[in-house]
Amino acid sequence: MDNQLNQLTTKDILEQDFKTALRGYSPDEVDQFLDTVIKDYEFFQREIQKLQQENQRLNQELTQQKSEQRRPMAGQGQTNYDMLKRLSNLEKHVFGSRLQD
């Protein structure tokens, strides 16, 4: 089964002519049906475009999140070192005289 769509435009549908034959289709019914098809076609084109834009936005967000996860946390080791140094200084200040005994 072929998954490729015909690249019809609403103009192509609107301007499509059908040959008339003996006991052929009613031109008014064909026109009414084609009007309905055009409206549906336009709706689907807008919906596809909207979904493609949303898909693109979500893919960009996903790429950004993956990039952020791969990036090492800058300064994490330095932050831990600074916290330990501060804690050590605090202990010396609070318990200083007792630690030297």
What's the pLDDT at 7? 74
Query: Average of pLDDT values for 5-12?
Result: 76
What's the pLDDT at 11? 85
Phi, psi (degrees; rounded to nearest 5) at 29: -65, -40
pLDDT at 8 over 50: yes
Task: Give the amino acid at 68.
Answer: E
pLDDT at 56 over 90: yes
Question: Quick count: other Cβ atoms within 10 Å of Cβ 10?
Answer: 14
Q: How confident is the model at residue 1 (pLDDT cuts 50, 70, 90)?
A: very low
**Count of residues in the chain:** 101
What's the pLDDT at 80? 81
pLDDT at 54 over 60: yes
Is residue 91 within 8 Å of residue 98, measured between CB atoms? no
pLDDT at 99 over 50: yes
Task: Give the amino acid at 90.
Answer: L
CB contact burial 73-97 (16+ within 10 A = b; e otherwise): eeeeeeeeeeeeeeeeeeeeeeeee
